[in-house]
C-alpha cells in the first residue's frame, strides 16, 4: 500500500492513484486486491470530498450523493449548470433501495409520477439483464436524495457500474456516489486518467487511474415513467438490446421537443453543449463555383 499514491511534479495539487493493469484484471474475480489503492479515495468520498474514478463508460467525478455540500463540489469543479441533474452510482441493490421512493412509504411521490408496481417489476427485470453495466434508470427519488442531485425534479437516475474499480470504490466509501463525467462541462468526456488531469488538475483533490474505459461513451438513460418508455440519452446499451425486454421503447428526439432555456432537462445531455473539443476543424465544401474549396476553422 505504501506505493499506491503518487503525485507527479506537474500535479502538485491533485493526487493521482495509479492502479496496475494486472490488478484491475484480477479485481474482476477478487475486488479486495484493490483495497490498498482505494482505501484513501474511499475515505475521501465518505468524508464529503470529490474524487475522479474510472467506470466502463467514461471517467466520472464523484461525491456522496446524499450530501448537498459534497455534491456542490462536483458542480464547482466542472463549472456545471445547477439545473443539469446528476446520475447516482451504486455498488449493490441494497444501496439503491434508500434512494427510491418506496411503496407504502412515499406513495404520494410515486403517484405524482405515475409510478406503480408494474414499473417496479420492469425496473427489476432491466436491472437483472443489464446491471452491472451502462444503463441508467430513472426512478422516483426518495427524500434521501438532495435537490442538488435531481435538479429539483421528482426523479433520480441510478446505475450500477460494471468497472471493478468503480464498484469497489463505492463499496469502500459506503455511500451512493453522484458522478457526471470528469471534465469541464461542455468538453469531451475523458476515457483515460491523463485526460481527467488535463481538465481538472488543481480542481479536484484526487484522481484514481484504473486504465482506459472499455465502452467510451456515457450510459444509456431510460425513462420508464414515460408512456411508452423512452431512451432520453443513447449510450452503452443500444435501443435494440432494450427492445428485447421493452418492444415499444422509443428514442427521444430533441429536434421534435427541445428543452427550453428555462426548463430543467429530465436527464444529462439533453440541454447543454457537450463533446466539444478544442481542435482545428477542416470543412470540405463541394459543388457550385467553389467546388473543392477547403476552409478551416476551430471547433466551438
Is residue 253 helix, strand or coil? coil
pLDDT of 280 above 80:
no
* pLDDT value of residue 289: 53
Which pLDDT score, from 0 to 100, does residue 257 have? 59
pLDDT tens, position by position, 214-242: 999 999 999 999 889 999 999 999 999 99
pLDDT given for residue 83 in this prediction: 85
Tell me which residue has cell 432555456: 261
Mean pLDDT across the chain: 87
How confident is residue 175, by pLDDT bands cut at 50, 70 and 90?
very high
In the structure, what pLDDT confidence band is assigned to residue 276 with cuts at 50, 70 and 90? low
Annotate 254-274 with b (16+ C-beta within 10 A) or e (fewer). eeeeeeeeeebbbbbbbbeeb
Question: Omega into 247 within 30° of 0, i.e. cis?
Answer: no
Q: What is the pLDDT of residues 253-274, one digit of tens each?
A: 775 655 545 455 555 554 345 5
What Cα–Cα distance (Å) separates residue 113 from each residue in 100, 105, 189? 12, 15, 31
Amino acid at each position: 500500500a505504501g506505493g499506491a499514491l503518487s503525485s507527479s511534479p506537474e500535479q502538485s495539487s491533485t493526487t493521482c492513484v495509479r492502479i496496475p493493469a494486472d490488478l484491475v484484471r484480477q479485481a474482476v474475480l477478487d475486488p479486495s486486491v484493490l483495497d490498498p489503492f482505494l482505501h484513501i479515495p474511499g475515505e475521501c468520498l465518505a468524508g464529503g470530498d470529490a474524487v475522479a474514478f474510472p467506470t466502463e463508460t467514461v471517467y466520472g467525478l464523484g461525491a456522496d450523493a446524499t450530501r448537498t455540500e459534497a455534491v456542490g463540489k462536483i458542480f464547482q469543479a466542472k463549472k456545471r449548470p445547477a439545473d443539469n441533474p446528476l446520475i447516482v452510482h451504486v455498488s449493490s441493490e441494497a444501496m439503491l433501495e434508500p434512494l427510491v421512493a418506496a411503496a407504502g412509504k412515499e406513495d404520494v411521490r410515486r403517484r405524482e409520477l405515475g409510478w406503480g408496481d408494474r414499473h417496479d417489476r420492469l425496473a427489476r427485470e432491466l436491472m437483472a439483464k443489464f446491471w452491472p453495466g451502462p444503463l441508467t434508470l430513472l426512478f422516483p427519488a426518495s427524500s434521501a436524495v438532495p435537490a442538488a442531485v435531481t435538479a429539483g425534479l421528482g426523479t433520480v437516475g441510478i446505475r450500477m457500474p460494471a468497472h471493478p474499480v468503480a464498484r469497489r470504490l463505492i463499496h469502500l466509501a459506503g455511500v451512493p456516489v453522484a458522478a457526471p463525467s470528469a471534465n469541464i462541462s461542455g468538453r469531451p468526456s475523458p476515457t483515460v486518467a491523463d485526460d481527467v488531469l488535463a481538465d481538472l488538475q488543481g480542481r479536484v483533490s484526487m484522481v484514481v487511474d484504473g486504465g482506459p474505459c472499455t465502452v467510451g461513451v456515457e450510459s444509456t438513460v431510460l425513462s420508464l415513467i414515460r408512456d411508452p418508455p423512452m431512451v432520453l440519452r443513447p449510450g452503452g446499451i443500444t435501443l435494440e438490446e432494450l427492445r428485447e425486454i421493452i418492444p415499444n421503447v422509443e428514442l427521444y428526439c430533441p429536434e421534435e421537443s427541445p428543452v427550453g432555456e428555462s426548463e430543467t432537462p429530465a436527464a444529462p445531455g439533453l440541454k447543454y453543449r457537450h463533446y466539444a473539443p478544442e481542435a482545428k476543424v477542416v470543412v470540405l465544401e463541394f459543388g457550385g463555383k467553389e467546388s473543392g474549396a477547403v476552409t478551416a476553422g476551430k471547433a466551438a
